[in-house]
Structure 1
C-alpha cells in the first residue's frame, strides 16, 4: 500500500485540513481520509480509520520520508496490525509515483487547491466514507499496466483499453480473492448495492452531496 499526505493550503497563517491518501498497488483500491492535523494524536486516529476501510488485509505500508509517518508511534500501530513499514529512498521522487499521481487526478480534481479550514475535517470525512471512497473503488475505472518484454529484453509497461476496470472488479479478478478479504467485509451487501445503483445514479447523487459540502465550507 502506498501512502501520502495532501495539504489543503494556508490562509492568514491558519493551516488547512490534511488528507491522507492510500492506494493498494495491485488493485488500485484507494481510501482517502481527512484530518485536522498530522501531529501524532490526530494522525494515528486517521490511519486507524483509513486502514479499517480497506476490504482486505494490508501487509505493507509504504510512505515517503516524512516524519509524520516515519516515527515510533506509527510503527507501533502498524506492528500491532502485523503491517510492515517501508519508506521511499532518499532523493528518489518516483518511488511513490502511484499515490502522488492520484493526489492530482483524484484529490485536487475534487477538492481543489483553495484553503479549507481544519474544522471541515469531520464533514469531509463523512463525505469520503459515505460516497467518495465507494465511488473511487466501485464506479470509477482505472487502467492497469500490462508488463511485456521488449526486443531488448527489458520489461515495458503497456496500457491497453482491455485492462481498464474498477478496483473492485480488479480485486474480484484475483484467483481465490475471498481468502484475502477481512472476515467482516460485507461482500454480498456491496454487490447487492452496486446492482441496484448504476454508475450515473450514484455519481449524480455523490456530486450533489459534494456540492452541498463545498457550499457549506465556503459559505
Structure 2
C-alpha cells in the first residue's frame, strides 16, 4: 500500500522528490495505481496548477507508481478528458480508421496511377476532409476524420509501398563544360586558380565583386573589380587579367560557380588558347584552397569586409589592377612550399622562412 497520506502540499512533495523526507512505499496493482493517480490529481487540482507545479506532480506520480513519463502523460490526458482513469488494455481501439486499406490513402495521378511522390500528410488529410464535407463524396466518409498519425502508419505499410509506384529521385544535371579534377602543374607556371569575392549588399544596394586569379606555382596574382558577375561585366575584366600574366596560361581552374562554368567563359579560354579548363570536385575543399586563402589574406586584408556599392566598381578596378596587383607581384613576399619525406615515407609540405620571396623573385 502506498504510504503517502502525509503528503498534503506541493512543498511536501518537492521535499519527498529531493530526498530530504524519507518515505517508504510499495507499488500497487495497476487498478489501484490508477485510482491513486486520479485521487491525487483531483486532490491537488491538477488542471488549475501552473506549469512548474504540474511537472512536479507528474514526477511524483511517476516515482511512486513506477510508470514511465509517457504512460503518465497518457493517463493524465485521460483523466482530464473523462474525469477518471481506467485500464484500456485488451480493448480494441474505437478508431474508425483501422479497416482502411492503404491503397485508399494515395493521391491519384494521371491515368489513375498513384503519384510517384506522395502528397505531404496534412494536405492529404485536408483533401479527404474537403472531399466529404464540402463536395459530399461518400467514398471519403471514413477518410474525412482520419488523423495524421494514422496516415503516416498506412504509408509505412508494405501494401501501400507496393502500389504507390516508382519514386524517381532528383537527377543531377551534368554540365559538360570543364573537367572535374584537380590541376596538375608539375612545377610549370601558368596554371591559374580563379575565384570571386563579393563585397556585400546593404539596404538593397548591390556590392561589387572582385575577380581573383592566382598562379599555383609562382603565386603571381592579379585582381580586378566588376559591377556584376554577368558576362557583360566579367568577360572584359577576365580577359585583361589573363593577358596580364608574364607567362603563357596553360590551365584555368575554378569552383562550380555559374559565373565561370558557362559557354561564354569557355569560348574566351579557347580564344586565348588555354588548354585546360578544370573545376573543383565534390567534397574536395582543397581543390581551390590556394585562391581561397588569397581571398582572405590579400583581398579582405586590403579591401576589407565593408560594403562597397557597385557604382564604384570602375574606380576600385583601377586601384586593384594598377596599384594592388603590381604591389602583390613585385613587393609582397609569399611563402613557397618545400617537399619533405617524413619517417613513414609520406611527402609533407613545409613553408620555411628562408624560402619566402616575392612572386617576381621566384619567377
Q: TM-score, normalising length from structure 2?
A: 0.46
Matched, 1:17 2:204: no
Any runs of at least 4 consecutive aligned residues in structure 1 with deviations exceeding 2 A, and if so which? none
- Whether the aligned pair in 2 keeps the contact of 1:65 and 1:90 (CA below 8 Å) is no
Matched, 1:50 2:238: no
- Distance in 2 separating the partners of 1:152 and 1:118: 52
- Distance in 2 separating the partners of 1:80 and 1:94: 29
Structure index of larger Rg = 2
- From 346, 350, 357, the equivalent of 1:154 is 346
Give the match for residue 282 of structure 2: 90
Give the match for residue 130 of structure 1: 322
Give the match for residue 64 of structure 1: 255
CA RMSD of aligned residues (A): 0.8
Report the 3-state secondary structure (helix = DSSP H, G, I; strand = E; otherwise coil) of the residue aligned with 1:108.
Answer: helix
Give the match for residue 77 of structure 1: 268
Give the match for residue 356 of structure 2: 164
- From 291, 296, 303, the equivalent of 1:99 is 291
Larger RCO (CA within 8 A; separation ≥ 6): 1
- Distance in 1 separating the partners of 2:297 and 2:208: 19
- From 314, 317, 337, the equivalent of 1:145 is 337
1:93 deviates by: 1.6
> Structure 2: where are the runs of 5+ without partners?
1-191
- Distance in 1 separating the partners of 2:301 and 2:221: 15
How many corresponding residue pairs?
Answer: 171
- Whether the aligned pair in 2 keeps the contact of 1:17 and 1:116 (CA below 8 Å) is yes
1:51 deviates by: 0.8
- Distance in 1 separating the partners of 2:228 and 2:311: 10
1:92 deviates by: 1.7
Deviations 1:127-183 (A, max 9, x none): 122211110000000010101111111110011111100000000xxxxxxxxxxxx
Query: For structure 1, which segment, 161-170 or 46-55, has the greater mean C-alpha deviation from structure 2 after superposition?
Result: 46-55
Report the 3-state secondary structure (helix = DSSP H, G, I; strand = E; otherwise coil) of the residue aligned with 1:3.
Answer: strand
Q: TM-score, normalising length from structure 1?
A: 0.76
- Distance in 1 separating the partners of 2:298 and 2:351: 19
